[in-house]
Amino acid sequence: MAGKGTSQGTGILLVTANVGSLFEDPENLQKTWLREFYQTVHTHKPHFVALHCQEVGGKNYEESMAHVDSFVKELLSSDAMKEYNRARVYLDENFKSPEHFTALGSCYFVHESLKTIHQFDFKAKKFKKMVGKEIYSDTLESTSMLEKEKFPQDYFPECKWSRKGFIRTRWAFGDCAFDLVNIHLFHDASNLVAWENSPSVYSGTRQKALGYVLDRITDQRYEKLPYFLFGDFNFRLDSKQVIESLCSTATMQTVRTAETNEVDKLIFRESDNDRKVVLQLEKKLFNYINQDVFRENNGTLLLEFDKEKTVFKDRLHELEISFPPSYPYSEDSSQGKQYMNTRCPAWCDRILMSSSAKDLVAKPETEEKSIIYDNIGPNVCMGDHKPVFLSFRLTTGADICCQRMEGISPQATL
């Protein structure tokens, strides 16, 4: 059981999960997913759990949104979470309002041994003590306990019904306060377009959107605090470079459509006699001959092609990745480690943080083994994304926290 938030510090568990698949096959996938999530909570025994979900309701959200309520009820009433006696669940379920709908869900659970926790009211500009369990859904615009924005339509014009955006909440434990931001950035619409340039046009779109979020959460409207951004960033490997590396000895054949003469597929074959196909690339097909390259050593040899975060290296930090690419896993419940042949596997799901937040996670006196950055359910099917988590201990009352509060006085809390 979670020990008290005492001298050992307050146990924090941050989890990001693109849950779109869970609502396509709730019977099988949801049970497995919840079991693995509960196991992670049980193993790390946190006092505070933040679960950031993307694609709540799945791709067919009009039909699947009904399954979301049962998923949330199960989370709140389960035996595994019974010692978490306070909770806040924010679900953006209002798909009838396309200009606002993000399909994001942010869920927060507080263990009974943690005596007090405060959440920030963005309208009143003060912290309020958190009590009880509450669920907010449908129109999140009316709650002042979070900030929610959907990215402007012109950020990703080719995807008319894009549901990408962010939700921000702010929390205080004793003297220590920070922001938690749930984020979902734009995907790669076509493997063929992603392959054309290095970096790809899609990475430029994600860069613009991420820059927008960072500017919003550090502007002058509120005190600046450490922040954790975790969600589906949709970061991809540099397609052109990774394909050139994987197919370095192959020759490329271009197949065009008869009607428009547009490139329909690229076929990379071995140059030797048997002309074996190494990679077949289409708009939504990435069929590479040997998936093991993405699993051996957790795929970390491919991290050199994971470059999208480097643009923000002065503003965003991440612990070392030692788990395989988190997407796109097979949605077949019997294929826990198999990738789908739809996209080049990539580390889409991440937990990033500001410099000051990194100081909270990895303080000099913290034992390294108490900081774990990993995925959930490595051997079972969790849907097309494996959730990713960060577990660490926060020493409340430490000087570093006090410095970061930047003028938020005890009077500012209720």
- Residue listed under structure tokens 């996938």: 29
205 CB neighbour count, 10 Å cutoff: 23
Provide the pLDDT confidence category of residue 272 given band limits of 50, 70 and 90.
confident
Rounded CA Rg of the chain: 22
Which helix H or strand E contains 266, and what residues bound it? strand 263-270
Which residues have a Cβ under 8 Å from the Cβ of 159 and sit 6 or more positions away?
186, 189
pLDDT above 60: residue 186:
yes
Sketch the domain layout of the chain as residue ranges: 10-235+290-412
pLDDT in tens, 213-252: 999 999 999 999 999 999 999 999 999 999 999 999 999 9
**Cα-based torsion angle of the residue sequence 79, 82, 86, 87 in order, rounded to the nearest 10 degrees:** -10
Provide the pLDDT confidence category of residue 399 given band limits of 50, 70 and 90.
very low
pLDDT in tens, 151-185: 887 776 666 557 899 999 999 998 899 999 999 99
CB distance 278 to 288 below 8 Å: yes
CB distance 398 to 364 below 8 Å: no
Tell me the mean pLDDT in the region 52-62: 89
CB distance 182 to 212 below 8 Å: no
pLDDT above 50: residue 74:
yes
Contacts of 258-263 spanning 24+ positions with Cβ under 8 A: 263/192
pLDDT in tens, 351-377: 999 999 999 997 666 555 689 999 999
**Cα-based torsion angle of the residue sequence 375, 379, 383, 384 in order, rounded to the nearest 10 degrees:** 70
pLDDT above 50: residue 147:
yes
Q: Which stretch of 16-25, 29-38, 402-411 has the lowest confidence by average pLDDT?
A: 402-411
Which pLDDT score is estimated for 5? 43
Burial (CB < 10 A; 0-12, 13-18, 19+), residue 285, is middle
- CA distances from residue 133 to 52, 90, 111, 406 in whole angstroms, order as listed: 17, 11, 12, 29
Which pLDDT score is estimated for 370? 85
Largest CA distance in the chain: 78
> Which phi and psi angles does 181 have, rounded to 5°?
-120, 120
Domain 10-235+290-412: give its CATH architecture.
4-Layer Sandwich (3.60)
Which pLDDT score is estimated for 366? 54
pLDDT above 60: residue 306:
yes
